[in-house]
Amino acid sequence: MRVVITGGSGLIGKALARSLSEGHDVVVLTRDPDRVGPLPAGVRAARWDGRTADGWVALLDTESAIVHLAGESVAEGRWTAAKKRRIRDSRLVSGQAVMAAIRAAPVRPRVLLQSSAVGFYGDRGDAEIPEETPPGEGFLAEVCQEWEASTAEAESLGVRRAVARTGIVLAREGGALPVMSVPFKMMIGGPLGDGRQWFPWIHVDDEVGALRFLLEREDARGPFNLTAPRPVTNRELTRALAHALGRPGFLPAPGFALRLALGEFAESMLQSQRVVPSRLLAAGYVFRWPELTAALHGLL
């Protein structure tokens, strides 16, 4: 099967492309194929402007699947009005482009795997968050709702659609973990705020494994939480990360200091999300890394 990945040059996209390259024809859509960097054997790049279906509809001329991961990082830079507009537009406009491609496809894809995030749920305190939890409030919750809605039409066109609400992906190659590790390596690591907020994490191996599971399982439809089955608090994360790095982790970063340094983005770091992958577990997915301590030691 041909698998077309938008956002395929990012951390998750590259890891997924590498995994899928054994047994599938994988195409990564990118604005500049010449600058995408080395791709795994069996993976090729195709040009896409990120806004339309121009130039890549022809890829959908055989049995295919689309994995829609495109979207500007929420963790890079302060959330100015312009930054927030780019975060929203990069998701909604690209989702509309995916739908335009599906409508014009010579052969309709078998499945669309739509990326989303646990930001959908907003701040929930200590309450467990399965997939049936209604959407929360705040900028990220609103963006996630619109992001998911941008491709909802796929089902009415006969395309199976699964939505991956992903937590914080832990990987050696990039993402949150290298950034979180820096203060600890400088001996100034510690919990964020009061440390009691829940941290919805997932190892990159399970992120890729769960995405493949949803792609290949014919009855997988609707939202799925892609988080480890045992969430931890920020304070527990701090202890585990300090232990894995062999560094102290007792200097807290007060909430007011985070807000001063990071602006509105700090709120997303201080909110509590005790997300559980109820539907993924019920469907039979088996996590390779269910425990944070083992996951961190495996990565670090």
Distance CA 119, CA 71 (A): 14
Distance of CA 177 to the CA centre of its chain: 14
Structure tokens at 250: 């007792």
Worst-scoring range by mean pLDDT, 130-134, 253-257, 268-272? 253-257
> Does residue 98 carry a pLDDT above 80?
yes
Distance CA 210, CA 202 (A): 10
How many helices, marked H, and strands, marked E, lie in the chain?
10, 13
Q: Distance of alpha carbon 197 from its chain centroid, rounded?
A: 20
At residue 161, the pLDDT reads: 98
Quote the pLDDT of residue 152.
97
CA torsion through residues 166, 167, 173, 179, sign: positive
Residue 296 belongs to what H/E stretch?
A: helix 292-299
The torsion defined by the Cα of 41, 30, 34 and 172, in degrees rounded to 10, comes to: -60
DSSP H or E segment with residue 164: strand 160-166
Contacts of 169 (CB under 8 A, 6+ apart): 11, 12, 175, 176, 201, 202, 203, 204, 207
Tell me the pLDDT tens digit for each residue of 165-175. 999 999 998 88
Determine the pLDDT at residue 157. Answer: 97
Q: Nearest Cα to 169, choosing from 2, 289, 256?
A: 289
Please, are residues 85 and 72 in contact by the beta-carbon 8 Å criterion?
no
Sign of CA dihedral 7, 10, 12, 17: positive
Residue 253's closest CA among 272, 234, 231, 240?
Answer: 234
Following DSSP, what letter does each residue of 103-155 receive, concatenated? HH-SS--SEEEEEEEGGGG---TT-EE-TTSPP--SHHHHHHHHHHHTTGGGG
pTM above 0.75, yes or no: yes
Pairing of strands 198-199, 232-233: antiparallel
CATH superfamily of 2-170+200-228+274-288: NAD(P)-binding Rossmann-like Domain (3.40.50.720)
Best-predicted range by mean pLDDT (1-10, 223-232, 238-247):
223-232
* Single-letter amino acid, residue 185: K
Measured in whole angstroms, the distance separating CA 98 from the mean position of its chain's CA atoms is 18
Predicted local distance difference test score (pLDDT) of residue 194:
83
Place of tokens 């938008």: 6
Average pLDDT, the chain: 90
Residue 202, judged by CB atoms within 10 A of its CB (0-12, 13-18, 19+), counts as buried
Residue of higher predicted confidence among 193 and 15: 15
pLDDT mean over 129-149: 96
CB under 8 Å to 129, separation ≥6 — which residues? 118, 121, 225, 273, 274, 275, 276
Q: Is the CB of residue 94 less than 8 Å from the CB of residue 6?
A: yes
What pLDDT does residue 111 have? 98
